[in-house]
């Protein structure tokens, strides 16, 4: 008669403290499904409002103030430039007048 084989359980080798610390369990996180409609690539997307609609918002006011300040600073620089050019013209006029005057003749002393 054939004899039945005995199954023996092998003892698992004991892990050291360092080996126990290195083993970490990883958790798998699934991304939540978004219920919003997704835009697909290579397909036309229709916007909700037409492109040329005009609506005053905070950004409109911001850009108007910015444009106005840039224009005012530009006008101020032009005004300063004109004043400086007038001063240069006055200096040139006085130099022309001074250079056109006859120089005094030195008297000979006897």
Q: What is the pTM of this model?
A: 0.45
Which stretches in the chain have pLDDT values below 70? 1-26, 29-40, 47, 106-110
The predicted structure's pLDDT at residue 58: 93
* Domain presence at residue 80: yes
Give domain status of residue 12, yes or no.
no
The range of the structural domain enclosing residue 73 comes to 56-97
15 lies in a domain? no
Say if 66 falls within a structural domain: yes
pLDDT digits (tens, 9 = 90+) for 87-96: 999 999 999 9
| Res 110: pLDDT | 58
In sequence order, which ranges of the chain are alpha helices (DSSP H)? 17-22, 58-100
Count of domains in the chain? 1
**Domain assignment present for 21:** no
Q: Specify the pLDDT at position 4.
A: 64
The pLDDT of residue 63 is 96
Q: Would 31 be classed as within a structural domain?
A: no
Phi, psi values for residue 33, rounded to 5°: -75, 135
- Using the 8-state DSSP alphabet, how is residue 31 labeled? P
Give residue 75's pLDDT: 98
C-alpha distances in Å from residue 44, one per residue of 34, 39, 41: 21, 9, 8
């Amino acid at each position: 008669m054939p004899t039945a084989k005995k199954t023996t359980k092998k003892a698992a080798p004991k892990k050291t403290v360092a080996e126990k610390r290195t083993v970490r369990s990883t958790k798998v996180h699934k991304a939540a499904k978004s219920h919003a409609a997704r835009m697909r690539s290579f397909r036309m997307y229709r916007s909700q409002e037409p492109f040329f609609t005009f609506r005053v918002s905070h950004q409109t006011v911001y850009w108007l103030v910015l444009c106005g300040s840039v224009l005012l600073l530009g006008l101020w620089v032009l005004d300063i430039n004109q004043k400086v050019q007038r001063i240069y013209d006055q200096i040139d006029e006085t130099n022309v007048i001074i250079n056109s005057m006859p120089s005094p003749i030195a008297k000979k002393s006897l």
